């Protein structure tokens, strides 16, 4: 390795190092007013680069070792889906996102990962060649910008994830692949273990889970992947980037089926102490790439880094402003708050929601809609009032 060069993702993982990912840019920037809920597309990389840059910096300060390009849903077919009129091309967005991630990564020891995700083209039953062509356009930008490694993330169907990995593998760069599934497997019923085996055979070096479910459910699912991989006599590294929301009541499609999705999920947010428990569970399960997805904020990543500081050998910069296990409260003016400056207090606390008339659990939707269903066929035109009425009527009947 050249003097001053950073170790690559596989070098770090091969050495047993912990790698902390970042968090959920789409949700975080939507809350800050830079992303529109619904399309969830990342035009902010071009429109408001200062916002994306600042969020990268906050995650870097919190301990993230990977700056993932803000390219979720940045494929051309998604950018022009259902009336979303693109002001910028996919190439412009992907290039801007790469530049921002690299700028901030160079401020520390972080790597840059270029990411692709599932496509409307696949849901609309386009051919393998058509879907791969969508990925190829994004990958060409990542190669041009020389990202450090590639991630295929947020796939509900392992078939599409395999296609993505095959395209990513062609670059010669390290490839990670994560699916947004739970213990029941993908939406065609392929088990987590079998999904992982397929992804490794397609060319992935790192496999795991992201989004749709809470940390403990995701860790459980990665364990199932690991069991399947070992049974098949294969090897891989493992990663986990879950939601920052509690989802014990979710079905196979995860939090998008919850009635609270996406605008009323706040009561489900994990505390920093929950995140420390997640970090420990993930580490004990053999997962070494540990990060987050929707709902994750920088303080959540800092909690991961603080929990595993003994194993990592260091604390992030952000811990300069945070007393471990609440020790900073020793400086508080109120004595009863000073009395909370201890681990056992926060570790054993049962947080109240302050909502006496709200249930602890929800009744998730279960429409059973997946690839090939008429309701999932994508279109460039905006959803019509007649189309919405059909959906409203169906929703009312199911509730």
- Rounded CA gap, 26 and 43, in Å? 11
Pairwise CA distance, residues 354 & 244, whole Å: 19
Kindly state the DSSP code that residue 271 receives in the 8-state scheme. Answer: P
Q: What is the 3-state secondary structure (H, E, C) of 5-36?
A: CCCCHHHHHHCCCCEECCCCHHHHHHHCCCCC
Pairing label, strands 237-241, 66-68: unpaired
CB 151 within 8 A of CB 113: yes
* Separation between Cα atoms, residue 172 and residue 268, nearest integer Å: 40
Separation CA 78–CA 174 (nearest Å)? 25
Concatenating the DSSP letter of every residue in 151-184 gives: EEEEESSHHHHHHHHHHHHTTTS-EEEEE--BTT
DSSP state of 122: H
**250 in a labelled binding site:** no
Q: Supply the DSSP string of 302-333, one letter for each residue.
A: HHHHHHTHHHHT---GGGGGS-GGGGGGGG-S
3-class DSSP assignment, residue 247: coil
Query: Is 294 annotated for ligand binding?
Result: yes
Residue 293 is labelled as binding a ligand: yes
Nearest residue to 78 (alpha-carbon basis) of 95, 94, 99, 100: 94
How many residues does this entry show for the chain? Answer: 399
In the three-class reduction of DSSP (H, G, I as helix; E, B as strand; rest coil), residue 234 is classed as coil
Contact, 62 vs 298, CB < 8 A?
yes
Residue numbers belonging to the annotated binding site: 211, 293-294
Residue numbers belonging to the annotated binding site for Zn(2+): 211, 293-294
């Amino acid at each position: 390795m050249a003097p001053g060069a950073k170790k690559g993702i596989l070098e770090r993982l091969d050495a047993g190092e912990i790698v902390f990912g970042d968090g959920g840019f789409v949700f975080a920037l939507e809350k800050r007013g830079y992303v529109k809920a619904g399309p969830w597309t990342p035009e902010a990389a071009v429109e408001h680069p200062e916002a994306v840059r600042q969020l990268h910096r906050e995650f870097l300060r919190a301990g993230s070792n990977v700056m993932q390009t803000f390219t979720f849903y940045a494929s051309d077919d998604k950018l022009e889906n259902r009336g979303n009129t693109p002001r910028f091309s996919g190439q412009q967005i992907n290039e801007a996102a790469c530049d921002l991630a690299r700028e901030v990564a160079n401020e520390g020891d972080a790597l840059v990962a270029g990411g692709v995700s599932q496509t409307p083209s696949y849901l609309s039953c386009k051919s393998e060649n058509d879907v791969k062509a969508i990925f190829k356009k994004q990958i060409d930008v990542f190669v041009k910008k020389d990202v450090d490694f590639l991630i295929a993330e947020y796939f509900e169907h392992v078939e599409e994830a395999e296609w993505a990995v095959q395209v990513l593998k062609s670059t010669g760069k390290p490839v990670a692949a994560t699916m947004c599934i739970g213990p029941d497997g993908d939406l065609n019923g392929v088990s987590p273990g079998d999904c992982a085996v397929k992804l490794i055979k397609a060319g992935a070096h790192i496999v795991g889970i992201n989004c749709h479910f809470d940390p403990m459910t995701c860790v459980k699912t990665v364990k199932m992947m690991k069991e399947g991989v070992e049974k098949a006599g294969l090897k891989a590294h493992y990663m986990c980037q879950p939601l920052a929301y509690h989802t014990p009541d979710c079905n196979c499609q995860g939090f998008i089926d919850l009635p609270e999705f996406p605008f009323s999920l706040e009561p489900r947010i994990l505390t920093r102490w929950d995140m420390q428990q997640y970090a420990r569970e993930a580490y004990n399960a053999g997962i070494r790439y540990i990060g987050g997805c929707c709902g994750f904020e920088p303080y959540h990543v800092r909690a991961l880094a603080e929990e595993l500081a003994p194993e990592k050998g260091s604390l992030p910069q952000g811990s300069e402003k945070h007393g471990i296990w609440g020790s900073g409260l020793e400086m508080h003016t109120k004595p009863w708050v000073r009395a909370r400056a201890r681990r056992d207090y926060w570790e054993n606390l049962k947080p109240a929601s302050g909502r006496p008339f709200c249930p602890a659990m929800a009744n998730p939707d279960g429409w059973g809609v997946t690839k090939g269903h008429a309701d999932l066929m994508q279109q460039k035109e905006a959803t019509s009032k007649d189309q919405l009425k059909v959906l409203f009527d169906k929703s009312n009947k199911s509730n």
